[in-house]
A and B are shown apart, each in its own frame.
Chain A
Amino acid sequence: MALTLDDVKRVAHLARIAIDETEAPAVLAQLTGVFALIAEMQAVDTRGVEPLSHALDVTQPLRVDGVTESDQRELFQSVAPHVEDGLYLVPKVIE
């Protein structure tokens, strides 16, 4: 199935990345090349094969449900683009 310009725009919207009309065709051309490569793997017969997400047979470790972090708000907010009174500032969402 060939990728279209609409797909590029839809995915760019989902990924919250602005792509203007002039860039979109070049992005489409490169993604089409990558998906042609990916198609090689789609042709493989994988009936009865379990998906592998971790090569080793391990279980998720659990920890005690206790407080492990101290309050470091000031330190963390010292690298924020815009803060006021301990809050992160962004453009108004609700009028």
Chain B
Amino acid sequence: MHNATIKSLSDGLASRAFSSVELTRHLLSRINQLDKKYNCFITLDPDASLKQAQAADGMRSTGAGQPLTGIPIAQKDIFCTKGWLTTCASRILSNFKSPYDAHVVERLKAAGAVTLGKTNMDEFAMGSSSETSFYGPVRNPWDPERVPGGSSGGSAAAVAARLAPGALGTDTGGSIRQPAALSGVSGLKPTYGVVSRYGMIAFASSLDQGGPLARSAEDLALLLNVMAGFDPRDSTSLAREREDYTRDLGRPAKGLRIGLPEEFFAKGAAPGVVKAVEAAVAELTKLGARTVEVSLPNMKLSVPVYYVLAPAEASSNLARYDGVRYGYRAPEYADLADMYRKTRAQGFGAEVKRRILIGTYVLSHGYYDAYYIQAQKVRRLIAREFADAFGKCDVIMGPTSPTTAFRLGEKMGDPVQMYLNDIYTIAVNLAGLPGLSIPCGFDGGGLPVGLQIIGNYFSEARMLNVAHQYQQVTDWHMKAPPGIE
């Protein structure tokens, strides 16, 4: 059961082959057995999960079942879930029981999905390795001495280790796609504004976007069908007609124009990664797609631009954590100002503090134009290049990450090395475009490689179609890590 896709589990539930209670119990017992090794979950509440499963079985029996009814889904611990601890993997929220549900959580509940647990991540989603969590690092099921990627590392590793059929993530600079790549699962970051940010703890609001992780493109489509939709409580949520993201899955790849930017294959990408990605593109050309050269010369500026914009927005968003209304408060302090300083010094980890300091600096008096405004101008140049490229192609392809999974601790001492990990994903967030990552093979060391597919605004259905067609003729996405049966 735990190896199955959401699609086949949904069929199994519909035909009464098993119940949601049985499925949920099975996954909870696997988590109980295996998660000591991976540390994917921060919070579990088996009673709450099983109660939802029971209700889902009830929905199915009255004929009110939808595709996700009774499917257990893990939620990144950045999504507020009513009555559940919602920590964002930070000490400062380590005692925060959310009084409300995020929009995405509401929608999943309405569809009858089961909350399987809250997954581990980089603190406040700031990281590319899931090592900055207050709850300890997540380990990669393909090699527990390596990182699963981040920041949605707990979600990606839970899907990879067959602890959950699907999971929620968020992606500010690659935090869905990069862990999906490093952990050998599929993950999608939608167009900015497609999924509501309401109740999704804010990091960098102009870039944050929620999305699904799962085993297949078809499963991503099923999850996005529920997650997407207008929500007036998020001022950047887009009022659009509802879409069925599964509608184009069966469309042949014939005639597809794949843009290949040379910048994605230049020095910096590991040979094993490039080889697997080129093989994936070749597979699609066999299906009738053709390749086009495109150019994104300013993509290299996306990392420096991001490390102005994201910390600036984070320093403002994280000003709310002061130990007054919720969360951690330092046990000892002299006065109010001292309470703020100590609460924040003790409550935030090193990476979060670093980004708050960077953000505070670039927004401080006299520096705003030189940093924030300049970064927003370069951001426009980057977005324009994508617009030009999409004049010549339907999708852009390249590696999701320059390397496969690296060792725990390898990049923790050097923030800049860690930041450069997201060189292929960040530009997509800056432009607000949708991007997805699917498994496309392994490097020489047996570690999974991710193929990134970037689409034009609102072309999620087309991107999922391309990924699905690839997954019809390959089986990389169904491979399980060694020792996991």
Residues of A within 8 A of B (CB): 3, 7-8, 10-12, 14-19, 27, 30-31, 33-42, 44, 46, 49-56, 58, 60-61, 63, 72, 75-76, 78-82, 88, 90-93
Contact = CB atoms under 8 A, between A and B. Distances in A.
Contacts of A17: 341, 344-345, 348, 353, 356-357
Contacts of B339: 90-91
B307 interface: yes
Contacts of B338: 18
Contact of A18 (B305, B315, B345, B381): B345
Contacts of B336: 90-93
Interface centre among B300, B361, B431 (most CB of A within 10 A): B361
Nearest to A28: B357
Residue from B97, B341, B430, B431 with most neighbouring chain A CB atoms (10 Å):
B341
A15 B348 CA distance: 12
Contacts of B356: 15, 17
Interface in B320-344: 322-329, 333-342, 344
Main SS class of interface, B: helix
A11 to B, nearest CB: 5
B353 A52 contact: no
A45 to B, nearest CB: 10
Given A34-B415, A93-B335, 7 more contacts: A11-B361, A17-B345, A18-B345, A44-B298, A54-B206, A55-B432, A79-B96
Given A17-B357, A88-B324, A34 B416 contact: yes
A90 B369 CA distance: 36
A16 B341 contact: yes
B432 A41 contact: no
Contact of B357 (A11, A52, A54, A60): A11
A88 to B, nearest CB: 6
A10 B430 CA distance: 29
A80 B325 contact: yes
Contacts of B416: 33-34, 36-37
Which 6 A-B residue pairings sit nearest by Cβ, starting from the closest? A55-B432, A51-B376, A46-B377, A52-B380, A41-B304, A18-B345
A31 B357 contact: yes
A39 B303 CA distance: 11
B288 interface: no
Contacts of B225: none
Nearest to B97: A79
A2 to B, nearest CB: 13
7 contacts: A17-B348, A41-B301, A41-B305, A55-B383, A56-B193, A75-B99, A91-B333
B322 A16 contact: yes
Interface in B98-115: 99
The listed residue with most B CB atoms (<10 A of its CB), out of A10, A11, A16, A50, is A16
Nearest to A89: B324
Contacts of B61: none
Contacts of A55: 192, 383, 430-433, 457
B327 A81 contact: yes
Contacts of A78: 97, 99
